[in-house]
Each structure stands twice: as structure tokens, then as C-alpha cells.
């Protein structure tokens, strides 16, 4: 999916739908907040909703972000997501039914086993990204978890993932980067610089991601 970096959608009824999914502690809700703030800064109407199950204990976390000239509902219906940022492979697969054919899916392929699997309520899917590649989507994958560790803090995964999706949004990536760095301004220049590096690393990583075959 090629999306022009402009705000032309403000003149139409087009609504952009982005799913952000992962597990507690990965910064899913922070990433969704940053996406929303960037869209608000450009004048979009924005709606967002979140589901966090035991988020502080590694439970699943999902956020729907919708923006456009006018958005009536915060929830993305099955088959309507234009993009998905998957912080964890199995969680990305869980939401495949919400993806629109041809949608862009960016996945951190560093797996984290959620509590529902650890306590035996569910099985971790075999080859979740292989299954996701059977859907008619544009699937990209890379190890954002390892990249964050190399930068010195595994919590940087969300900034890396935002950088990776930045060039697919219907507005300039610099707008998203500005919203991200503003989020950390009150925590000091060093943390702002670290997140700037993480965002840049994500954008660079996209160019080397494996684009998996689509159906």
C-alpha cells in the first residue's frame, strides 16, 4: 500500500484505521497515544479505544486508532484496518480478521509468551507469521526487540515500531517523530535523544525488513 505523505484525506470522508497490538509492558498504549497526538496536531478528528488485560503482568493489549475528517466510532470493525503494528507475532495473528486486503502489517518478530499461554489456557500458535503471510496483506517483519536491547533499553521497542511504520502513514514521518519526542521532553534530553535514535533505527530497519509473500 503506497500512501502519499500529505493531509489530503482531510478533504474527503476517508478514515485511516490502525491497530496496535501486543502484550503488557511493550508500550502499546504509548504508541497509540503518539499516533493520536500526531494526527490531532494536523487537524484530524481522532478516536481511540483500548483493551488491556492484565497489562502490568504481560497480558494482551490492543488499541484501535482511527483518524480522518470526521470519525464517528472508536472501534475498527473486522476487515477495515488499513495498518497494524504488531509488537508480538501471536498477537498480530490474533487480529488478522480485522485487516483489510492489502493492508500494511509491521511486526516485531521477537516472541513473548503471554500469561494465558503460560498457565495453559491457550497454546502459542505454530509459526504465527507464516499463518499471517497467508492473508492478503503486505507483511513486514524484523526483530525490534533485539534492536531495542542493542540500543540499551528494551522499552524502546515502541519507538522503533513507530519509526518502522512512519513511512506508511498519510502524513509526514517528521510529524510522528515530533509527537514521539514531545512525549519524552519532560524526562530530559538524554531520553529524548535515545528515542530519536530508536525512531530513526525503525525507519532504517523498514528498508531491510523481510517482506513476506502474500496470498
Question: What does the pLDDT look like over 61-101, one tens digit per residue?
Answer: 899 999 999 999 999 999 999 999 999 999 999 999 999 99
Within a domain: 4? no
Within a domain: 206? yes
From the list 11, 71, 27, the residue with the least C-alpha distance to 45 is: 71
- Map grid coordinates 500469561 to a residue: 115
**How many structural domains does the chain have?**
1
Within a domain: 7? no
Give the structural domain span for 77: 16-122+131-213
Within a domain: 8? no
Report H helices in 72-188: 89-94, 115-118, 128-132, 144-151, 157-165, 173-184
Within a domain: 159? yes
Beta pairing partners, 108: 142
pTM of the model: 0.87
Kindly report, residue by residue over 109-138, the tens digit of the pLDDT. 988 877 777 777 778 899 999 999 888 889
Within a domain: 69? yes
Q: What is the pLDDT of residue 121?
A: 77
Kindly report, residue by residue over 6-27, the tens digit of the pLDDT. 554 566 778 999 999 998 888 8
CATH of the domain at 36: 3.40.920.10
Residue 99 host element (H or E): strand 99-108
Within a domain: 157? yes
Amino acid at each position: 500500500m503506497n500512501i502519499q505523505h500529505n493531509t489530503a484525506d482531510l478533504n474527503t470522508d476517508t478514515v485511516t484505521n490502525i491497530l496496535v497490538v501486543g502484550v503488557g509492558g511493550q508500550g502499546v498504549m504509548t504508541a497509540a497515544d503518539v499516533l493520536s497526538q500526531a494526527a490531532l496536531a494536523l487537524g484530524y478528528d481522532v478516536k481511540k479505544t483500548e483493551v488491556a488485560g492484565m497489562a502490568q503482568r504481560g497480558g494482551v493489549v490492543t488499541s484501535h486508532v482511527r483518524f480522518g475528517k470526521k470519525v464517528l466510532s472508536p472501534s475498527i470493525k473486522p476487515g477495515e484496518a488499513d495498518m497494524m503494528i504488531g509488537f508480538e507475532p501471536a498477537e498480530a495473528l490474533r487480529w488478522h480478521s480485522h485487516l483489510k486486503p492489502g493492508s500494511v502489517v509491521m511486526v516485531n518478530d521477537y516472541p513473548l509468551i503471554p500469561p494465558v499461554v503460560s498457565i495453559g489456557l491457550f497454546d502459542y500458535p505454530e509459526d504465527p507469521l507464516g499463518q499471517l503471510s497467508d492473508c492478503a496483506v503486505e507483511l513486514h517483519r524484523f526483530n525490534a526487540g533485539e534492536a531495542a536491547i542493542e540500543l540499551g533499553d528494551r522499552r524502546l521497542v515502541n519507538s522503533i515500531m513507530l519509526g518502522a511504520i512512519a513511512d506508511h502513514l498519510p502524513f509526514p514521518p517528521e510529524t510522528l517523530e515530533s509527537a514521539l519526542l514531545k512525549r519524552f521532553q519532560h524526562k530530559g534530553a538524554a531520553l529524548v535523544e535515545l528515542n530519536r535514535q530508536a525512531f530513526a533505527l525503525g525507519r532504517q530497519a523498514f528498508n531491510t525488513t523481510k517482506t513476506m509473500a502474500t496470498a
